[in-house]
Amino acid sequence: MAPVGELLPQPFLDPKSLVMPKDRDREVATMRAWLNTMPHLPRLSDEHLLLFLHSCNFALDRAQKTIDSYFTTRTNETYLFSDKDPASGDLKYVFGIAELVACPERTKEGYGVLLYRLTDFEPSHVDFLQGIKAFFAFNDVRLSEDGVIPGYVVVFDMRGITLSHLGVVTLSGIRKFMHYIQECHPCRLKAIHVINTVKWFDKVLALIKPFVKSELLQMISMHGDDRERKPCSRACPSKPLPPQGELHDAHVKLMTDKYSLWLKQEQLLRVEEKKRPAKCKNGNFTTMEGSFRSLAID
């Protein structure tokens, strides 16, 4: 836990440089009053509360549930949310076999575009949980860099992925990933594009479908070879995606040079279960199972 009296620079490293929603003081004050009745939760900045409110379309009840689920999940899933040094260990390894980058151009709607793809296609080099861990750390940094923006479009590039890669995917990993994305992650997800898909992609959908709300499944658009440079029906990048390697080094440098300490500090924001009020001990926030009800899906 963070030292008493200390408010960490979370979720934004430099909130003064970001554009934040205006005229939301009443909602933030309501959330602050609620937080004061939840002694098991860490101390949060107004910016933190505003981020959760925005991700839930300013629905107070949903934002409260999301906050509790977010910090409880990060407390319980120790491996996924600890030892997040970009210059060593799991994150450094993942950055050596994959690209996790933010495209410089946003969509016409103002959505950020996040691109994920392998650069080392050897299945034995891929650890599914390592990839999830790096994905979560990268997204934390993106939220800090972007601030409160209208939403995100996610692009998964399947170029080089074979059936053998399915052998490294675990059901428990899928469950953990989908739980966090749908019930904890404080952003507005607008569209998911899977490019360079193959005929057997239906096997992937069959794996994830039991863990995904129908609303999220409907957001997925699949595109075949080189479709990434053609228009898509859903919200999509306004310009061609960057070629492999163009943005990778800059993103790794950003995370290593600017965010190493920040990622370490985030690990102090955790739940103290012994202080959890009895009214919250109903199982909604203490397991990886859930109703997938908090993510703002449009």
DSSP reduced 3-state for 251: helix
The C-alpha atoms of residue 69 and residue 55 are separated, in whole angstroms, by 14
pTM greater than the 0.75 cutoff = yes
pLDDT tens-place string over residues 217-243: 999 988 886 444 444 555 667 678 888
In the prediction, which pLDDT does 177 show? 96
Higher pLDDT, 201 or 34: 34
Residue 244 near residue 217 (C-beta atoms within 8 A): no
Least confident of 90-94, 110-114, 196-200: 196-200
pLDDT exceeds 50 at position 297: no
pLDDT exceeds 70 at position 176: yes
With cut-offs at 50, 70 and 90, classify the pLDDT of residue 34: very high
Angle between helices 46-55 and 60-76 (to 10 degrees): 110
For residue 172, give every residue at least 6 positions away whose Cβ sits within 8 Å of its Cβ, in sequence order, or none.
none
In the prediction, which pLDDT does 279 show? 77
The C-alpha atoms of residue 242 and residue 101 are separated, in whole angstroms, by 9
In the prediction, which pLDDT does 158 show? 93
pLDDT exceeds 80 at position 74: yes
pLDDT exceeds 70 at position 286: no
For residue 136, give every residue at least 6 positions away whose Cβ sits within 8 Å of its Cβ, in sequence order, or none.
80, 81, 180
Can you list the domains of the chain with their CATH numbers?
24-80 (1.10.8), 89-262 (3.40.525.10)
In the prediction, which pLDDT does 225 show? 64
Average pLDDT over residues 168-175: 94
In degrees, rounded to 5, the angle at the alpha carbon of residue 80 between the alpha carbons of residues 77 and 81 is 85
